[in-house]
């Protein structure tokens, strides 16, 4: 995979994509938790090879077909990949977040996903000789790069529009409150050093670089927050 210098080109490479997402991740977390709950991020993790990461079992599908789910799982795994810094979108269950949200808040995007995921597989087949989920990581990245550059054919209205939709929802699924079906085991919040929702913080807690210990709590673990729109667990 490419090094950090590739970040300037915004191509879907492990380091480039991950550096971009680590910069915007706190904003994504802020959109998923109550206003004012953010605290300064902890120090960056040491760049050591990670131990094998046990991925959470895949949940029953709520919206997507099995074929669509396989393609989406492979896509999110390349958009925010697992690397030496820790788990990525696959372990965060970003695809599960999208599948669940397509029955509710993202329902207006269901047709776009049906057409777009089919187009991804069609383009992967024609350009690389196999369905997206069956390609090697470098070929998957090449397909995503073509989509991002808007040169991939067969998309409506175009490939970059679907790429941006996928990227937006993958970020949401990785950094959201776990109540919404993503950020499994708080891996997204741990990635960006977000210590979790706190109802009250002391002056000492608010010091720059305070390095709060993650509490691994959903906002909905507190009785003061209501679960509107259904009773999804996390």
Residue 2 maps to a domain:
no
In a domain, 23, yes or no: yes
What's the distance, CA 24 to chain centroid? 12
What count of other Cβ atoms lies within 10 Å of the Cβ of residue 53? 13
**How far from 142 is each of 8, 97, 145, CA to CA, in Å?**
17, 25, 5
The Cα angle at residue 77 between residues 2 and 219, in degrees rounded to 5? 120
CA-angle at 110, arms to 108 and 116, nearest 5°:
120
Query: Are the C-beta atoms of residues 146 and 132 closer than 8 Å to each other?
Result: no
- Please indicate, yes or no, if residue 99 is contained in any of the structural domains: yes
Cα–Cα distance, 125 to 132 (Å, whole number): 7
Q: Is residue 229, in this structure, part of any structural domain at all? A: no
CA-only gyration radius of the chain, Å: 18
Alpha-carbon distance of 75 to 20, in angstroms, equals 17
Mean pLDDT by groups of 10 residues along the chain of 234 residues: 38 49 47 35 39 57 95 98 91 97 96 98 98 98 98 97 98 95 94 82 73 85 66 42
Among the residues of the chain, which ranges form H helices?
14-32, 66-79, 89-92, 94-101, 110-128, 137-148, 159-175, 187-192
| Structural domain includes residue 226 | no
| Residue 52 in domain | no
- pLDDT at position 50 is 47
| Cross-strand partners of 83 | 86
**pLDDT in the model for residue 150:** 98
Give a yes or no: residue 50 inside a domain.
no
- Where in the sequence is the domain holding 181, given as residue range(s)? 9-40+58-221
C-beta of residue 92 within 8 angstroms of C-beta of residue 169: no
Q: Is residue 185 part of a domain?
A: yes
Q: Report the C-alpha gap between 33 and 42 in whole angstroms.
A: 18
C-alpha atoms less than 13 angstroms from C-alpha of 150 in its C-beta half-sphere: 6
Query: Number of structural domains, the chain?
Result: 1
């Amino acid at each position: 995979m490419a090094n950090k210098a590739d970040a300037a080109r915004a191509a879907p490479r492990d380091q480039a994509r991950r550096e971009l997402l680590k910069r915007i991740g706190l904003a994504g977390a802020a959109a998923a938790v109550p206003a004012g709950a953010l605290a300064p991020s902890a120090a960056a993790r040491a760049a050591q090879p990670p131990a094998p990461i046990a991925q959470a079992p895949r949940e029953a599908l709520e919206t997507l077909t099995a074929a669509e789910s396989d393609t989406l799982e492979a896509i999110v795994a390349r958009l925010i990949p697992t690397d030496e810094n820790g788990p990525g979108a696959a372990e965060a269950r970003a695809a599960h977040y999208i599948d669940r949200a397509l029955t509710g808040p993202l329902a207006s995007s269901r047709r776009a996903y049906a057409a777009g995921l089919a187009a991804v597989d069609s383009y992967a087949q024609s350009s690389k000789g196999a369905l997206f989920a069956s390609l090697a990581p470098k070929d998957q990245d090449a397909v995503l790069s073509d989509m991002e550059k808007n040169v991939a054919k067969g998309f409506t209205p175009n490939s970059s529009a679907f790429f941006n939709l996928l990227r937006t929802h993958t970020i949401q699924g990785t950094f959201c409150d776990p109540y919404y079906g993503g950020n499994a085991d708080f891996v997204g919040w741990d990635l960006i050093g977000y210590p979790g929702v706190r109802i009250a913080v002391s002056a000492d807690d608010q010091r720059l670089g305070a390095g709060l210990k993650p509490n691994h709590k959903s906002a909905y673990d507190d009785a003061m927050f209501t679960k509107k729109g259904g009773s999804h667990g996390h």
